[in-house]
Amino acid sequence: MKVTVYVWDFPIRLFHWLLVFAVVGAYVTATLGGNLMDWHGRIGSLIIGLLVFRLIWGFIGTTHARFGSFFPTSGRLIAYLKGSWQGIGHNPLGAMAVLALLIDLAVLVGTGLCSSDDIAFEGPFHSLLNSDDWKDTVSGLHKQAFNFLLLLIFLHISAIAFYRLVKNNNLLVPMLTGKKQVPKLFASEVTGGGVLRFLSTVLVSGAVVWGIWGSVEFFRPINSAPVVVLTPSF
């Protein structure tokens, strides 16, 4: 007998699909270049906000959004490999993929804040790096982290296709509706989340992004603070 479980709460779904659009947008703007690079930077900020949101929601969101409920502990991984793992939400292997995606995205935005395209765009922290070698290395890491992201996205989509075609398990619809049909045996009560927590998490995430941009001046070494220097007029 199957029952409907509210597996992905609204904030998680919103996070997921905004992230999809943001990643596509960041890719397109970076590929086309030119004045769109400013949008690349703005989308990067959105992704930072989304990641902070996900991090907080992983502690105060509903059951299956919580890191604690799906973190791939050795016990869970061993059970999964033996075929005895049971549950809904992310399975231990999927959980590893999810964490890899989140960590790689964190590296991407982190390096992005310090990168330059060597044309006319640079992240707010780029000028704080004090050597050309570092600047080149970090900008290069940004590209490599993106290539790794492509690999992870490929695995993500392949896994969804595999579940749909081979295991006859549709993972896409639950990410749209939030609801999933599961054997009654696995169903447990979904707790946590709520509108108030959602709104406050959005607020905190926004504040973090704002704070990152605001902190640029804070991190700038005092001796390089912008001062009016009189230079010869030629």
Q: Pick the piece of the chain touching other proteins (CB under 8 A) from 44-52, 113-121, 185-193, 204-212.
A: 113-121
Alpha helices, H only, the chain: 10-32, 37-60, 67-70, 74-82, 92-114, 132-165, 172-177, 195-214, 216-219
32 binds other proteins (CB under 8 A): yes
Query: Minimum CB separation from other proteins for residue 208, in Å?
Result: 23
Least Å distance, CB 128 to other proteins, is: 16
Give the interface segment with other proteins, choosing from 9-17, 111-119, 183-191, 218-226 (CB under 8 A): 111-119
Q: Establish if 217 lies at the interface with other proteins (CB under 8 A).
A: no
- Say whether residue 117 binds other proteins (CB under 8 A): yes
- Which tokens sit at 206? 């926004």
> Does residue 172 belong to the site contacting other proteins (CB under 8 A)?
no
Does residue number 136 form part of the binding site for other proteins (CB under 8 A)?
A: yes
| b/e per residue 26-57 (b: at least 16 CB within 10 A) | beebbeeeeebbeebbebbbbbbbbbbbbebb
Q: Is the dihedral of CA 222, 226, 228, 232 positive or negative?
A: positive
Q: Are 79 and 91 in contact (CB under 8 A)?
A: no
Using the minimum distance from each CB to other proteins, give the nearer residue, 7 or 138: 138
Q: Which is nearer to other proteins, 14 or 141 (CB)?
A: 141
CB 143 within 8 A of CB 40: no
Q: What is the 3-state secondary structure (H, E, C) of 99-126?
A: HHHHHHHHHHHHHHHHCECCCCCECCCH
| 211 sits near other proteins (criterion: CB under 8 A) | no
How near is the Cβ of 192 to other proteins at its closest, in Å? 42
Can you tell me whether residue 6 is helix, strand or coil? strand
Of the residues 20, 34, 188, 215, which one makes contact with other proteins according to CB under 8 A? 34
> Segment contacting other proteins (CB under 8 A): 35-43, 150-158, 159-167, 218-226?
35-43
Cβ atoms of residues 33 and 119 within 8 Å: yes
The yes or no reply on residue 139 touching other proteins (CB under 8 A) is yes
Contact between 140 and other proteins (CB under 8 A)? yes
Residues found near other proteins in the complex (CB under 8 A): 32-38, 117-121, 132, 136-137, 139-141, 143
